């Protein structure tokens, strides 16, 4: 996930729904990256 510093900044600028959506997108990107790397 994101470092705590980034989390604090994002929480200050995004509402709860936007922040949770961003977290979900990051999780999806990380899992996609792991799948792509595992194919190598």
pTM: 0.72
- 14 in a domain, yes or no? yes
Q: Cα torsion for 10, 2, 8, 20, to the nearest 10°?
A: 50
- Across residues 8-16, what is the average pLDDT? 97
- 40 in a domain, yes or no? no
pLDDT tier at 17, thresholds 50, 70, 90: very high
Instruction: For residue 17, give its domain range.
Output: 4-35
pLDDT tier at 25, thresholds 50, 70, 90: very high
- Structural domain count of the chain: 1
What is the rounded distance in angstroms from the CA atom of residue 32 to the CA atom of residue 15?
Answer: 26
- 26 in a domain, yes or no? yes
pLDDT value of position 35: 79
pLDDT value of position 34: 79
């Amino acid at each position: 996930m994101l470092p705590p510093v980034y989390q604090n900044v994002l929480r200050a600028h995004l509402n709860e729904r936007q922040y949770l959506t961003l977290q979900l997108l990051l999780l999806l990107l990380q899992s996609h990256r792991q799948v792509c790397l595992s194919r190598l």
